Amino acid sequence: MGRSSGVMITVKVPIKWDVMTDRQKIRLSRITSRDTSVIKAYLGVIERHERDLLVGKNKKRLDAGKIDELTLRTETRNIVPHDFKDRFPTISTNELQECRDTAIAMWSVYLALGKNKPLQAKGYQSKKLPRHMFKRMFKFIYTPEKEIKHWLTLRDALDSRREGKTYHKRLAIPLSPSSYHLNRLKSGEVKSIQIVKDKRRKWWVLFKVKMDTSSVDSTSKPPAVIGIDLGIKKAVCSVVLTQDGLRHVRFWTDKEKASKIGQYDRMVASLQRRRDSPPHGNQSTDDVTKRLREISSKRENVSFDYDGKLVKQLSEHILELSQEYDLYVSIGKLKGIRRRARKGDGKGRRFRGMLHRWAFARITNSLQHKLSMNGFNPKRVYAVSEAWTSIKCHKCGSKGYRPKQSYFLCHTCGYRDNADKNAAINIGLRLIRLIPSLKGGKGLGTWLPPIRKASPKTPRTRSKGMSSAPKSSLGSIVGSTVADCHDQTSLEEFASSTDLAMEKTMETPSAIVETSTHDSIVQRTEATSVKRSHTPMKHSKTRAQPTGEVLLVAGDSSHEEG
C-alpha cells in the first residue's frame, strides 16, 4: 500500500422546506441573496485589479492577502479602495472572507480553463452564488427525541447584537437525510457546506466531506493503457493495450435504460403536443405543465441511476486491472458534439434528441471521481480528443470506411473489426503518444506504427458529418446487470467475438485486399482466413508530448469523424 491521501466528495442533502416557518424561509433567502451580492462584488474587485493580485511563477494564483488590503479595514489600515464593511454592514468579517474564498475559487477555474470570466459567463448574472461556509459557521445536530431528527444550524450576522461582545444568532434548518447520506457523512470529515436552490426551486445543503484513501503502488507492474470509447446504445467499449498485445476487450450496453428513457420521452412528447395545442374554451394548461415537470424529473432520475451503475461497473473493472498492470486510463473527450445537434442539420429530431440526451460528460467526471475515491490516482485518468478515432485505422493510420454503424473496414491494409473497438484502440494510442514514459524504454511504444499518415485536416466550417452513436444494439447477451458486458479476448480473434453486432457485420469485402504494411500481417483475399500475429507493431521515433498536455489530432470535433 502507498501513502494515505484524501479525496473530497459532495453529499447533497435535501432541506425540509415545507416545515420551515415563514421567518426561517425569509432569513435563509436573505442570507443567500446577500452572499451572492458580496461574491459578485469580490469578483468585480478581482477583475479590476487582476494584474496586481496574480502571484506565483505562472501568474495563476490570486493572493487573498492583497484582496483583503483592497476591501477590509483594520486597526492599522483605516482607508481601503473598496470598503466592504461599510458597503455590507450586515455581514461579519468571517463571512466576508468566506465569500472572498468562493470568488477566488471561481476565478481560479476561469484561469485554468481560459473561458469566459465568471461575471460574463452565461447564467452567473441571474442565479444565486452560494458561499463555502466552514466549520466554525455551522453545526450538524442530531436530536433523536424530536420528530425532525437532523438539523443544520447556521451562524450569521443578520440578527447580530453587540453587548460588549458581538453575538450572532443561529438559524436552524431542518434536513431530510437518508441512510446513504448519513453513511457518507460518517465516512470522512465535513469541511464545509453550501446552500443552493436548484432550477425546480428546491433547496439543498451540499456537504463537502474529505475521505481518507490509500493509494496502491503499481510502478513495479508492467505498463498498460485502457482506452474507453463512449457510445449511446453501446454505452462503453474498453480495450487494454499491453506489451503482450491487446487484452480485455469489453462492451457495455444499457438496453433497459434506453427502453425506460424512450418510454418517458414518448410521454413527454405527448404532453408537449397537448400543452401546445390550441385551447378549447377556458381550459387551462397548468395541470399539463405540472405533469410534464414530474415526468421530466422522473426521466432525469432514471438517467442518473443507470449512469451511476454503469460508472460503478466500469470503475470496478479498472480497479481490477490496476492489480495486474501499471494502468493509465484514456477516455474519449467529445468536444463540440452538442453544436452538431441543431435544426437544419438534416439528421432529424430523433437524432438530435438522442445526441442531447447523451450524458458523456457526467460519465467521464463520475468515473474519475469514483476511481479517486477507491485510491486510484486521478492524475492517471486523461480525457483525450476523440476526433477521427472511429474512421481512422489504428494499424496504418489511413482513413477507413464504415459500411455499417458497428463495422470498420480499411481498404489500405485490409483491417476490419468493430468500429467502437477500433475507436477505443485509437484513444489508447493517443495517450501513449501523450506520455513519454509510455513510448520509450520498456513502455508501449511498439503499438505505434512506423509510418503514420497525416490525419485529415480540420475543416474551417462546422462539420455536418454523421455521429457515431450506434444505431443497432448488440442483441441478446447473457447478463442481467444494468450495463451488459461482452468480452473479446484478443484483437485478432474477431471471428469468435461474443459481440453479436460484430458477427452480423463481418462481411468479406467484395474486392481482393492485400496488406503489406507489416511482416506480421498476411495477405488477404475473399478466400483467405483472417489471422494476425499477436506481436505488437514496431514504430519509429515520434515527437514526445509534455506530460499533462492533451494531444489534439487534426480533424473536426465530431465523434463520427474523430
Q: What per-residue confidence (pLDDT) applies to 233?
A: 66
Mention every residue, 6+ apart, whose C-beta is less than 8 A from residue 419. 390, 391, 402, 405, 406, 407, 408, 468
Task: Give the separation between CA 291 and CA 446, rounded to whole angstroms.
Answer: 58
CA angle 295–299–300, rounded 5-degree value: 120
Q: What per-residue confidence (pLDDT) applies to 300?
A: 83
DSSP 422-471: HHHHHHHHHHHHH-HHHHSTTSSGGGS-S--PPPPPPPSSPP-PPP---S
Torsional sign, CA 409, 410, 411, 414: negative
pTM for this entry: 0.65
Q: What per-residue confidence (pLDDT) applies to 357?
A: 62
Q: Which amino acid is at 532?
A: R
Task: Give the separation between CA 422 and CA 415, rounded to whole angstroms.
Answer: 10
Locate the DSSP E strands across 458-519. 484-488
Q: Which amino acid is at 238?
A: S
* 218 within 8 A of 322, measured Cβ to Cβ: yes
Specify the range with the lowest mean pLDDT, choosing from 162-166, 283-287, 504-508. 504-508
Task: Give the separation between CA 355 and CA 117, rounded to whole angstroms.
Answer: 28
The pLDDT-based confidence of 354 (bands split at 50, 70, 90) is low
Give whichever of 181-195, 261-275, 513-527 has the largest mean pLDDT. Answer: 181-195
Q: What per-residue confidence (pLDDT) applies to 235?
A: 81
The whole-angstrom distance between residue 277's C-alpha and the CA centroid of its chain comes to: 38
Question: SS in 3 state form for 231-273?
Answer: CCCCCEEEEEEECCEEEEEEEEECHHHHHHHHHHHHHHHHHHH
Residues 344-357, mean pLDDT to the nearest whole number: 60
Locate the DSSP E strands across 107-163. 133-134, 138-142, 150-155, 161-162
Task: Give the separation between CA 113 and CA 329, rounded to whole angstroms.
Answer: 21
Name 206's bridge partners.
12, 194
Task: Give the separation between CA 555 and CA 562, rounded to whole angstroms.
Answer: 6
Residues 376-396, mean pLDDT to the nearest whole number: 86
Specify the range with the lowest mean pLDDT, choosing from 140-154, 417-431, 544-558. 544-558
Task: Give the separation between CA 98 and CA 100, rounded to whole angstroms.
Answer: 5
Residue listed under C-alpha cell 441543431: 342
Higher-confidence position of 353 and 394: 394
Q: Which three cell numbers stand for residue 525?
A: 483475399
- Residue count of the chain: 562
Q: What per-residue confidence (pLDDT) applies to 487?
A: 55
As a whole number of Å, the CA-based R_g of the chain is: 28
Residue listed under C-alpha cell 473561458: 115
Task: Give the separation between CA 42 and CA 62, rounded to whole angstroms.
Answer: 12
Does position 409 have pLDDT exceeding 50, yes or no? yes
pLDDT, averaged across the chain: 76
Does position 68 have pLDDT exceeding 90, yes or no? yes
Q: What per-residue confidence (pLDDT) applies to 259?
A: 81
CA-based nearest residue to 337, from 116, 114, 556: 556
Task: Give the separation between CA 320 and CA 250, rounded to whole angstroms.
Answer: 14
Does position 115 have pLDDT exceeding 90, yes or no? no
Mention every residue, 6+ apart, whose C-beta is less than 8 A from residue 265. 299, 353
Residues 65-89, mean pLDDT to the nearest whole number: 91
